[in-house]
A and B are shown apart, each in its own frame.
Chain A
């Protein structure tokens, strides 16, 4: 039967359209009850439903209670087409999840196309809203199922969240329950209750707080359009969870500061929000206070000091445009009795507020890492409301903590799928003969690799040969990963999503499966390998005579560590071709480096440490600073050279779609704090250009009276933090190619295709440009490339954070049963604390100046003097200034199982009531 469906829509250009769709009704639509997907006798029992029953959830249940529906005991569910449609319209992530559930044969979810079934169709009644109509359609379908099931003595239970709908259904004689009622009375699965997202009415009202109401989306959009509001993604400060900023859209993206709970108005880190500017007299400055949630829960520094004459643009959140809530890892707060059901959850990410959840398993969950999802944030609740999703394992356990940091940084760490593994060559793969025909044979050259110890994914090799006519041949050979990873295959797609290999202290999350990363592609010295080579003819003064690129077959003569290579170079008796080559390379590298620094390349520093890991327990037993040898910088120099050469080549051949890497020049304001800190110690630095900065940093290496010699390294560490992130981009869409840190006009990544996807793209472009491979449409599509680059940039950043977090975790494990006194340096001075860096452990921490070493607040404001311009703080007559050397006691604080952390306590200089007495 033919009906028509009428919808009115308003288009973006303001037109109003009437759309009529033909809608056909059928009488032969499967209802799933007879030999369909649904079981004949559903097993799940419920105290409120006496008979065997099937579930029909309504839209709100699907939208808000996916965690319940995903539980393994919920089976035999009838998903109505009406519900799916509405869910699709309202939330695409939930829609994806429900589609997955429906596709899973074990869950026995049946999709009933009720709107096309002649028994369950109903036209719209006049004056009925879309919502009401959908509810009515759901009730009609439930009634239909009830009728069908009558003979079998079974029922269909309509599960709804809507009181009115529930009442209507009951009036119609249907079996209708709210989701709370249903879940509470399920027999045998008490843990399901925790997964319930809370309905708004059930939320306890916190009288102490009332957030301003959010504006409606239409009002917000109109406001943004007219320029009254500003739209941007909220970034909460890492140091103070009550302070955030947005960078507005548009050309002149400016920063707006948002301070305080009420001004943030329930916005969570990374939400897209609309912000209204405060009047200029209320503008404020980013506070210098460090807010430490874990020391004093709920402690908030009164905003007494807000009134300052000059401030930066400050605003308040008036509406939320898009939430970007995700499940968060964290721990349950331990205060409150475990018998209580209401608890606070502290996320591992400091920038996320604590979340109120309800659970009956508090006893078992305390001391565990758990995952919690936010459901809502009502106006009268200080914290957002959420529900428990799953437990990961106990706090402090290394595997659990690793899992947490991988989840938190969105690092895909599950094993590779079948489809991906199917793309791999057999493990006994050897180079086929036809490859020798198309590749150059470099197997006789004295090629070797130099890498850190324990490295199994070797992606670069070098060689150096004296040509005898006053020139030398230098080659960089890179693993030919693109030979194995063909575009468009599952393995290629997987690598593109993962973007990069993530190195944690004790494990490596590979971008490509191990067979490739540690064997077939890894340029080990145990056989022939395929390579992509970059060969230069150079004069001894490092001037390049010619450059060429080719696919090749190589055989590495030796895989060395940096230390081994250094020893060979220094060993006067060794005179084999590999050693001779190394010496030649080393000499050239030094010339190259000097030239580069001459041009203004920065040599920055960041404290890096390496853990010695116990081979059995995998716990860290010792750690050492990474040493820098000549050979490190030798390899680096040639990799830089190769990258620059390749960048030039692909940009020449594919000016519109080359994948390049650029490092934007940081705005001068980034350096303000840094320059000010240096100035307070009498060091005049100049950061006008990268060359100025490099020169003035070098000048600090000269010993100066009154300052320790480590200051130069400290300054380099701090300068690193002023820099911008280097990013990949597509050359056709940007005009500025410069790499600030390297002082190179053009740069890309070519030398590590095993662990970076960007290099794979560069390999493909380069191969196409020398005719060694074919191009394909995605390779030459600039928007496509830009999208991949965006993902790569995100993945790289996340990998970096994960790496950092992993080091932090291991430092914690290392200090688990130790108390060590160590000297460190003040790197920042805040209003109430100093930030101390301990170079030996690469550890950075806060020492509070307003409380004693046990964490009790004892210092009153009169004893605390903070001078921002001079970067100094005076406590009880003792002056501490930036870059001062201090001695701190490092210990692992496990008094609170939930918050294990590294504690720093001041030992020297002695400050009564703050530093610890030397006898302790």
Chain B
């Protein structure tokens, strides 16, 4: 994780500020920083998004391909997450330096996505036991500025929402074989339903209070945090405690309540944005990176 150097007194300054519901960038404890999201930024993927949260910057690309389903769930498709930490974000990511972090993030993503209530994997099945769509979600971390997990989850939801799976047709061939034919029109796609896709909300315990969307500095002051996947309806799809410190059992329900609340709000504003993005489709020039 990005190294921010903080002196002991600077830490106390931040902790005391939070105690008074006044963080050092002026937010209150349950405020998010400004989020910037754009979809469809990489044309040779099936879906993509770019996200900026504070100074955290991410790029997510989604590719779909044909593959064979898991024998345990023959009618379902598969989603694979892969996180890549660019050495641009932090020099320590060079070589294999970012592996721990990326394994950690992809593990959490897999946990909150690969269940029936998040995404209906049946819609990604093609021929039971034989063929299904395999969705590869590639996350590229370009800059670290705190609260990576939340940022990643929001960007992934946006990218999945933007993903068009080709409308292939299955025709019966000879002797039980099935032929897959591709539509003539590349625009003939079906978008992945992300209505139940969760986002991650990290609630960090700092001193005796908890904050959301901790900046890199605040993360250094926090003893322990709770990461939870929250769907649009407020359902929790996964939870995990992070950090070395301990949490007071009494404060946990309180933190969960905050998480659910914040998650719902996050979904509402993200969905609004995605809807307008999709409506505008190709008409607008993408900001992208150029």
Binding site for B on A (CB under 8 A): 4, 6-10, 14-16, 18-20, 123-124, 126-130, 218-219, 222-223, 226, 228
CB pair B186–A8 under 8 Å, yes or no, is: yes
Is B166 positioned at the interface, with any CB of A under 8 Å from its CB? yes
Among residues 178 to 194 in chain B, which have CB atoms less than 8 Å away from a CB atom of chain A?
179-188
Return the contact of A124 from the options B44, B46, B186 (Cβ within 8 A). Answer: B186
Residues in chain B near residue A223, CB distance under 8 A:
174
CA distance A9 to B183 in the complex (A): 9
B187 touches A15 (CB 8 A): no
Check if A18 sits within 8 Å of B187, measured CB to CB: no
B43 at the A interface (CB under 8 A): yes
B174 close to A226 (CB less than 8 A): yes
Please report which residues of chain B, range 130-160, place their CB below 8 angstroms from some CB of chain A when the two chains form the complex. Answer: none
B182 touches A16 (CB 8 A): yes
Question: Nearest CB to that of A22 among chain B residues?
Answer: B43
Tell me whether B187 and A127 are in contact (CB under 8 A). yes
Sample (27) of A-B pairs whose CB atoms are under 8 Å apart: A6-B186, A8-B166, A8-B182, A8-B183, A9-B182, A10-B181, A10-B182, A15-B65, A16-B64, A18-B45, A19-B44, A20-B43, A20-B44, A124-B186, A127-B187, A128-B185, A129-B185, A130-B185, A218-B181, A222-B173, A222-B174, A222-B179, A223-B174, A226-B174, A226-B177, A228-B174, A228-B175
Contact A18 B177 (CB under 8 A): no
The answer to the question of B168 belonging to the interface, with a C-beta cut-off of 8 Å to chain A, is yes
The answer to whether the Cβ of B239 comes within 8 Å of any Cβ in the partner chain is no
The residue on A at minimum CB distance from B174 is A226
What are the nearest 6 A-B pairs in CB distance? A20-B44, A6-B186, A222-B173, A226-B174, A8-B186, A126-B187
A20: chain B residues at CB < 8 Å are 43-44
Whether A124 touches B175, Cβ cut-off 8 Å, given contacts A14-B66, A16-B182, is no
For A130, give the chain B residue with the smallest CB separation. B184
Tell me how many residue pairs across A and B have CB atoms closer than 8 Å: 58
Q: Which B residues are CB-close (under 8 A) to A218?
A: 179, 181
A16 & B44 in contact (Cβ 8 Å cutoff): no
Contacts of A123 in B (CB 8 A): 282
What is the CB-to-nearest-CB distance from B179 to chain A, in angstroms, rounded to a whole number?
6
Pick the residue among A6, A10, A124, A126 that contacts B180 (CB under 8 A): A10
Total interface residues on B, using CB and 8 Å? 25
Give the complex CA separation of A10 and B182 in angstroms. 7
Query: Are B185 and A124 in contact, with the CB atoms below 8 A?
Result: yes
A650 to B194, CA, bound (A): 72
Report the bound CA distance from A16 to B136 in whole Å.
Answer: 14
Residues of A within 8 A of B43 (CB): 4, 6, 20
Q: How far is the CA of A6 from the CA of B182 in the complex (A)?
A: 14
- B178 and chain A: residue at smallest CB distance: A222
Q: How far is the CA of A19 from the CA of B43 in the complex (A)?
A: 9
For the A-B complex with A8-B186, A218-B181, A222-B179 known, give 7 more contacts whose Cβ atoms are closer than 8 Å. Answer: A18-B63, A18-B186, A19-B44, A20-B43, A126-B187, A129-B184, A222-B173
Partner of B46 from the list A7, A18, A126, A129 (CB cut-off 8 Å) is A18
Contacts of A6 in B (CB 8 A): 43, 186
Residues of B close to A226: CB separation below 8 A: 173-175, 177
B187 and A16 form a contact (CB under 8 A)? no
Q: A218-B179, A222-B177 are in contact. Are A16 and B185 (CB under 8 A)?
A: no
Bound CA–CA A577/B183 (angstroms): 84
Q: Which of A16, A19, A130 counts the most chain B CB atoms within 10 A? A: A16
Looking at the assembled complex, report how far the CB atom of A218 sits from the nearest CB atom of chain B, in whole angstroms. 6
Contacts of A8 in B (CB 8 A): 166, 182-183, 186
Q: Chain A residues near B187: list those with CB within 8 A.
A: 124, 126-127
Please measure, in the bound complex, the distance between the C-alpha atom of A219 and the C-alpha atom of B150, giving whole angstroms. Answer: 50
* Cα–Cα distance between A889 and B182 once the two chains are bound (Å): 68
Q: Do residues A16 and B168 form an inter-chain contact, with CB atoms below 8 A?
A: yes
Residues of A contacting B166 in the complex (Cβ-Cβ under 8 angstroms):
8, 16
Contact with A along B185-217 (1 / 0, CB 8 A): 111100000000000000000000000000000
* Assembly CA distance A129 to B44 (angstroms): 21
Which B residues lie within 8 Å of A15 (CB)? 65-66
User: A7 vs B166: C-alpha distance in the bound complex, in angstroms?
Assistant: 11
Q: Which B residues touch A4, using CB under 8 A? A: 43
Once bound together, how far apart are the Cα atoms of A18 and B188, in whole Å? Answer: 13
